Amino acid sequence: MVGTTTVDRSRHQQLLHESIGGNTDSLGELLENYRAYLTVLAQRYLDDRLRGRLDPADIVQTTFMEAQRDLPSFRGQQIEELLGWLRNILRNNVSTAHQNHLFTQKRAAGREVSGSPNNSDQRITELLPSETTSPSQRVMRDEAAVYLANCLLELPETQREAIRLRYVEGKSLKLISQAMQKSEMAVAGLLKRGLHSLRQRMVSDNSSEAAEMQ
């Protein structure tokens, strides 16, 4: 698995078992591993009209608080089950935000507002496990998505945003340049530098993993 060591997976699984057993410190450490991943999902799920008004980090924090509160109702035993559970909580929180803010906006402005969060589930394939793959393939896809989200956090903000818009949301260079208020050439440069940094990180992590296995 690219960039995800057996030690990482074993540690996360251990933290999950300790969390289920009532260890709140282990649960806090475990959830923190998925903050970047859930933040990217929250950014994608949010309706364009709410960006700038709602902070995805706040939605993730609310998700963590609800996960800590509701963990006794979690019936899974594996990390991939936990991730699916967290995604459902996150989706519900985004849906609530849409209802609260867009419904209020509709009433105030007297205009039609769609309840659909901008077809957000249709272009998130890079960060969500496909329902048509095998369980083992879904596990690997989950791990890869979490790893890539954590890698993105290490990039400068402009590179991170350009990569998110291009490869998570599937926007064109023209639309990204408009959103970021930069020229298309500048956006292309951000993408090139960002992808180069990601590749270097992956190569470094793969080398470290290979050394650990020897």
pLDDT (0 to 100) of residue 207: 59
- Token readout for 31 is 């959830």
B/e letters for 28-44, b = 16+ CB within 10 Å, e = fewer, are eebbeebbbbbbbbbbb
**Does the reported pTM lie above 0.85?**
no
Q: Residue 119's pLDDT is what? A: 41
- Provide φ and ψ at 174, rounded to 5°: -65, -45
Contacts (Cβ under 8 Å, ≥6 apart) of 12: 30, 33, 79
Amino acid code (one letter) for 117: P
Q: Would you put residue 22 in left (φ > 0), alpha (ψ -120 to 50) or beta?
A: left
pLDDT of residue 139: 65
Report the amino acid identity of residue 18.
E
Q: How buried is 61 (Cβ within 10 angstroms: 0-12 exposed, 13-18 middle, 19+ buried)?
A: middle
| Burial class of residue 63 in the structure, from the number of CB atoms within 10 Å of its CB (0-12 exposed, 13-18 middle, 19+ buried) | buried
Average pLDDT over residues 19-28: 95
Q: Which amino acid is at 37?
A: Y
Question: Which of 12-16, 59-63, 114-118, 193-197 is least confident?
Answer: 114-118
Q: What are phi and psi of 51, to 5 degrees?
A: -70, 135
Question: What is the structure's pLDDT at 128?
Answer: 47
Structural domains in the chain, sorted by start: 1-124 (1.10.1740.10)
- pLDDT > 80? residue 64: yes
